[in-house]
Chains A and B, each alone.
Chain A
Amino acid sequence: EPEVTQTPSHQVTQMGQEVILRCVPISNHLYFYWYRQILGQKVEFLVSFYNNEISEKSEIFDDQFSVERPDGSNFTLKIRSTKLEDSAMYFCASRGTRGSNQPQHFGDGTRLSIL
């Protein structure tokens, strides 16, 4: 069964450094998402991406965050200047069809640790 893959599985970065988290969504999917989960807390929506542009973003997704789909397969999340509070699991998800009544498929996540 096709799956969403994320790399790296664990990223350790110094505070203030830039980090890029990578995702390969399922190949024929049209909608792409990033979520994060701080340890012990619930999963929070960051951003959705459709038709090569951001369709919705949360208040967490400030100017330090950006997303890109540089080619037909990758979907990246960049954090420009990381803060300690950015430490979390970051999940990428994708969804195939038009309409929201379809499930999202999640990757296994990237654990981001900011030192």
Chain B
Amino acid sequence: SQQGEEDPQALSIQEGENATMNCSYKTSINNLQWYRQNSGRGLVHLILIRSNEREKHSGRLRVTLDTSKKSSSLLITASRAADTASYFCATVRPNAGGTSYGKLTFGQGTILTVHP
């Protein structure tokens, strides 16, 4: 089964609009993280939400987590052309015995295009 599946696969909006991306996963998690990737670059960490948290904010970013539905959403408010990038959710699962070395399991990502 795939862990971390985002939708939509692609999102195109105008500058100033809000962008919402969703992520679903299938197993129990320690935390869920969102990363951003500009074309040809590495992954930049945006925000981490622990399994016992429901909502987190960071600047124009708002992340929610619903562990009963095994889903998360990332909201970017007042989007800018510079927000154009791919956005990935990634989960960290507990290993058997509760130990986790932090392995990230990524989804396919959402390609966000913000038009000026």
Taking beta carbons and an 8 Å cutoff, which residues of A are in contact with B? Answer: 4, 31, 33, 35, 41-45, 48, 50, 55-56, 91, 93, 95, 100-109
Contacts and interface: CB of A to CB of B under 8 A. Distances in A.
Chain B: interface residue count, which band?
20 to 34
A41 B109 CA distance: 9
Given A100-B31, A103-B48, A109-B42, A45 B104 contact: yes
A50 B106 contact: no
Interface of B: 30-31, 33, 35, 41-45, 48, 50, 88, 90, 92, 95, 100-109
Contacts, number: 66
Main SS class of interface, A? strand
Contact of B101 (A31, A42, A105, A109): A31
A43 B103 contact: no
A107 B92 contact: no
Contacts of A108: 41-42
